[in-house]
Amino acid sequence: MLPAIKRFLALLFVFVVFFFLVTAIRTWRSGGDFSAFLPNFLQKEKTHRVEAFTPSRTSALDISDVEMLSRLNEEYARLTKAVVPSVVSIDTVGERTEKLLDFRGGYRIRNYPTQGQGSGVIVSEEGHIITNHHVIAGQNQIRITLHGGKTYNASLVGEDPLLDIAIIKVDSKEKFVPLKLGDSSLVEVGQLVFAVGNPFGLGETVTQGIISAKERSLADNQRDLFQTDAAINPGNSGGPLVNLTGEIIGINAAIFSVDKENPSFQGVGFSIPSNDVREALKQIIERGRPIRGFLGVQMRDLDPTVRAELGYQDTAGSAVLGITPNSPAEAAGLIPNDIVQSYDGKSIRHTHQLITHVQRTKIGEKVKIGIWREGKKMELTTTITEATSPPIYREIPPKTPSKNNIEILLGVGVEVRNLTTEKSAGNVRGVVVTRILAEGSASGILKANDLIVALNNSPITNPNEFYLHLAASAAVQSTSLFILRDGQRLRVSLPAPSGK
């Protein structure tokens, strides 16, 4: 037994020596202290040595060297101090209803409480506040918090969902400090602006930037927006965009974000111009609802296909698709395929611009409309009214395809029909493919039951419109189709004719 114990102790000794040797080498390479290997009672007590430390007692520059920046800094602070007390944080409480399938195959309803946050700005001494419609839409309770921390309940006065504006009022007899609505027509690209709001529920926050662009469009109901690089984040919605004198020139409404699930500032924010907001505010205060001009036309932009179809050489204007019966457009003598070139003396470049001018026209005002019709220019006059119900448009009268167009359509080889009532109930419009000719250029690209929604980015509503667009496009170029197939959205292209 004794030799075995000796061998064990020898191996243990070698292991311990080797372990400490390797550890010591690593400590030395890393610049460590070897005293850490000694037991505590053998280590010397460390004493703190007072370091020499001489801080700078002077600024890098004298204030007189940056006098302009100093004044600018003071003015920024003064502007912020003047504006912030009129900006409020908005907290909302609502309820979301969800239909659930139970174990018996039936349905039951479950209600979930919801909470929201946003911003607003006081625009009257009585406590009227402008915010976004999407901040308060469907909410049961609205509570606002002022700059000093005081909270109040607020009630809805009126809303304009199309413009995304709502007017709420503080439930209090106190007098409040309002901000002035400025003239947004004076805003220039490049001018300094400040966005104030309640991003992410953090409370009042001020960011600075410039007007990056004007007349930006996010959708048909959001046109002519200001684009700014002042930081706007979720929670800023409804807060003001102010100029250097603290006037409201816009109401912050949206941001561009790559991540739609978790949107955040990307340097591109959008604000509703104050002149549009002022008009909506006036109408809501006076009548309880927004009022907009109504012409009664269904329009489409002039893409190459539309221009080729109508024989129109210019690129500016908007083409008439349909006319509402008994509307100002019908009274003026507008007909499908007219091209509107001017409205009330203002040139029309695209459809959004025309719709904006019409909606801003006062009810009962007479306007002149300059049009192009089959190669001739004309001027029509009508009186703008207010829309009281959803418009119904008279379809474009069917045209008999020319012999040349028939040959082109046979070469493509696609037949379509109208949507059934059941399929069109979900606000989806288009035509359904019924047959594909084996020898046609659409063979292998389109399939039966494909739903064609748009052709060359122009919406398609009926077979006649589809064939006219297709014949004009397929004769000279490749044709882009936006389709729905088995629940998926696809974009496909039909080849250009040979030699093109």
The residue from 324, 354, 386 where one domain ends is 386
Q: Note if 338 is an active site residue.
A: no
337 domain residue, yes or no: yes
312 by Cβ neighbours in 10 Å (0-12 / 13-18 / 19+) ranks as middle
How many structural domains does the chain have? 4
Note the pLDDT tens digit of each residue in 14-37.
777 777 777 777 766 666 565 655
Query: Between 381 and 110, where is the model more confident?
Result: 381
Domain boundary among 262, 287, 312: 287
Residue range of the domain that includes 308: 293-386
Residue 44 has pLDDT above 70, yes or no: no
Rounded Cα distance, 3 and 5, in Å = 5
Are 172 and 150 contacting, i.e. CB atoms less than 8 angstroms apart?
no
Instruction: Give the pLDDT confidence of 182-198 residue by residue, as tens digits.
Output: 999 999 999 999 999 88
pLDDT band of 423, cuts 50, 70, 90: very low
Identify whether 38 is part of a domain.
no
Sequence-distant (6+) residues with CB within 8 A of 331 are 382, 383
Are residues 281 and 191 in contact, defined by beta-carbon separation less than 8 angstroms? no
The token pair at 97 is 């209803």
More confident site: 223 or 86:
86
In a domain, 179, yes or no: no
Q: Which of 227, 252, 287 is the last residue of a domain?
A: 287
Beta carbons within 10 angstroms of residue 56's beta carbon: 6
Return the pLDDT at 380.
94
Catalytic residue (choose from 134, 264, 344, 350):
134
What integer pLDDT is reported at residue 399 of this predicted model? 47
What distances in angstroms separate CA 191 from CA 71, 216, 227, 249, one per listed residue? 18, 16, 12, 11
| 224 part of a folded domain | yes
Which one is predicted more confidently, 278 or 32? 278
197 by DSSP, 3-state: which? strand
pLDDT tens per residue across span 466-475: 887 787 778 7
Residue 48 has pLDDT above 90, yes or no: no
List, as one string, the DSSP characters of 258-317: S-SSS----S-EEEEEHHHHHHHHHHHHHHSS---EE--EEEEE--HHHHHHHT---S-S
Among this protein's residues, is 48 annotated catalytic?
Answer: no
Tell me, yes or no, whether 89 and 156 share the same domain: yes
Q: In the chain, what is the straight-line distance between the N-terminal and C-terminal CA atoms, in Å?
A: 100
Query: Are 188 and 162 members of one domain?
Result: no
Q: Is the pLDDT of residue 325 over 90?
A: no
Nearest to 310 by CA among 335, 345, 343: 335
Query: Of the listed 86, 89, 133, 164, which one is catalytic?
Result: 164
CATH number, domain at 134?
2.40.10.10
Q: What is the largest CA-CA distance in the chain?
A: 122
d(CA 96, CA 342): 46
Name the active-site residue from 86, 119, 184, 237. 237
Task: Look up 237 and say whether it is catalytic.
Answer: yes
What is the overall mean pLDDT for the chain? 81
List the one residue out of 295, 270, 321, 322 whose CA is nearest residue 163: 270
